[in-house]
C-alpha cells in the first residue's frame, strides 16, 4: 500500500460529494454500496500542484518512526489509466533496516485541483523475498474505482473515499481541523490541515494525518486501535 494510505478504520462517514471539473461527481454514502465514478480524461491536467499534495517529479520525502522508514520519490514516469496520464510515485518501506514493501502509486490531478488516486502496484517482502502483491489494484480493472486522495480546497467536515477495490482497498478520509501547528524532526509548520483516515477493512483503528502547504504529509499518528507515529525527517522539492 502507498505511503499516504492508512490501514485503519472507524466506520462509515456521511455522504461524499467531490466534483471533477466537467466529469462525474463522486457520491458515496460511506458503505461503498453506491460508490460510482465517471472520469473524463479531458478534465485532467499534466501537473499535480495541489499545495496539500504536490507531486513534482524529483521530489523526495523520508519518514521515520517506531522502527519504520518510508522513502517516497516522485518519478518522471507516467502510466495510462482510464485514458488519463498518471504520475508514478515510488515508495519503499523498511522496518529496522529491512525492506518490507515496494510500491508504485498512480496519481492524477483534475482541472479543479482534486488529486485522484488511480491504483498501485505493491509488493510485500519478507527476508528479502517477495511474498505478496495482494494490495495491488488499478482503476477500471476487476471493478476497482479511483478516489480522491486530496480535495482541491479541503474544508473541515469534507469527507471522501480515496479508493475502492472491494475487500482490498477501501480507504476513506475526513478533514478534521485546519490552522494547526505541527513540529516534526524536519521542522515546524503552521497552517497545518489534519485529516482522519480509516478503512472498513480494519475496524476500530484510526489515524490522523497532518498536511503542510507546499510539502504534503508531515506527520501521521495512530489515535485509536494502538499507538504509533511516523514523522517527516527529510524533504527535497523537485524542480
Distance CA 32, CA 94 (A): 32
Residue 208 sits at φ, ψ, to 5 deg, of -115, 135
Instruction: State the pLDDT at residue 168.
Output: 82
Instruction: State the pLDDT at residue 239.
Output: 85
Distance CA 105, CA 118 (A): 8
Question: What is the gyration radius of the CA atoms in the chain, in angstroms?
Answer: 16
What would the pLDDT profile of 13-32 be if each residue is shown by its tens digit?
Answer: 223 333 343 333 344 444 54
Write down the domain spans for the chain: 16-236
Residues of the chain scoring pLDDT < 50: 6-30, 32
Q: What's the CATH architecture for 16-236?
A: Beta Barrel (2.40)
The residues pairing with 211 across neighbouring beta strands, listed in sequence order, are 193, 217
* Element spanning 226, H or E: none
Instruction: State the pLDDT at residue 4.
Output: 52
DSSP states of 105-166 as a string?
Answer: EEEEEETTSPEEEEEEEEEEEETTEEEE-TT-EETTSTT-EEEEEE-SS--TT-EEE-EEBT
Distance CA 5, CA 80 (A): 22
| Residue 168 in grid coordinates | 482490498
- Considering all CA atoms of the chain, what is the largest pairwise distance in Å, rounded to the nearest integer? 48
Residues 47, 154, 19, 158, CA torsion sign: positive
| Residue 186 in grid coordinates | 524536519
Instruction: State the pLDDT at residue 233.
Output: 98
Instruction: State the pLDDT at residue 33.
Output: 55
Taking alpha carbons only, the member of 200, 229, 234 closest to residue 11 is 200
Residue 228 sits at φ, ψ, to 5 deg, of 150, 155
Distance CA 81, CA 147 (A): 13
Instruction: State the pLDDT at residue 169.
Output: 84
What would the pLDDT profile of 122-134 be if each residue is shown by its tens digit?
Answer: 999 999 999 999 8
| pTM attached to this predicted model | 0.88
Amino acid at each position: 500500500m502507498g505511503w499516504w494510505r492508512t490501514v485503519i478504520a472507524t466506520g462509515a462517514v456521511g455522504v461524499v460529494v467531490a466534483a471533477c471539473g466537467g466529469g462525474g461527481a463522486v457520491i458515496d454514502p460511506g458503505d461503498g454500496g453506491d460508490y460510482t465514478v465517471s472520469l473524463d480524461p479531458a478534465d485532467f491536467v499534466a501537473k499535480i500542484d495541489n499545495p496539500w499534495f504536490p507531486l513534482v517529479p524529483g521530489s523526495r520525502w523520508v519518514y521515520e518512526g517506531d522502527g519504520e522508514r518510508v522513502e517516497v520519490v516522485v518519478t518522471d514516469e507516467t502510466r495510462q489509466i482510464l485514458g488519463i496520464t498518471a504520475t508514478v510515485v515510488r515508495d519503499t518501506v523498511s522496518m529496522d533496516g529491512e525492506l518490507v514493501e515496494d510500491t508504485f502509486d498512480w496519481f492524477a490531478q483534475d482541472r479543479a485541483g482534486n488529486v485522484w488516486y488511480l491504483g498501485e502496484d505493491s509488493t510485500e517482502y519478507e527476508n528479502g523475498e517477495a511474498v505478496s502483491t495482494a494490495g495491488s489494484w488499478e482503476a477500471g480493472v476487476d471493478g476497482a474505482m479511483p478516489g480522491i486522495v486530496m480535495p482541491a480546497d479541503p474544508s473541515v467536515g469534507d469527507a471522501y473515499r480515496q479508493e475502492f477495490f472491494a475487500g482490498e482497498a477501501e480507504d476513506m478520509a475526513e478533514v478534521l481541523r485546519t490552522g494547526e501547528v505541527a513540529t516534526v524532526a524536519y521542522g515546524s509548520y503552521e497552517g497545518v490541515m489534519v485529516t482522519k483516515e480509516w478503512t472498513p477493512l480494519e475496524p476500530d483503528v484510526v489515524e490522523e494525518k497532518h498536511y503542510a502547504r507546499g510539502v504534503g504529509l508531515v506527520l501521521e499518528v495512530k489515535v485509536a486501535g494502538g499507538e504509533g507515529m511516523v514523522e517527516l525527517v527529510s524533504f527535497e522539492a523537485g524542480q
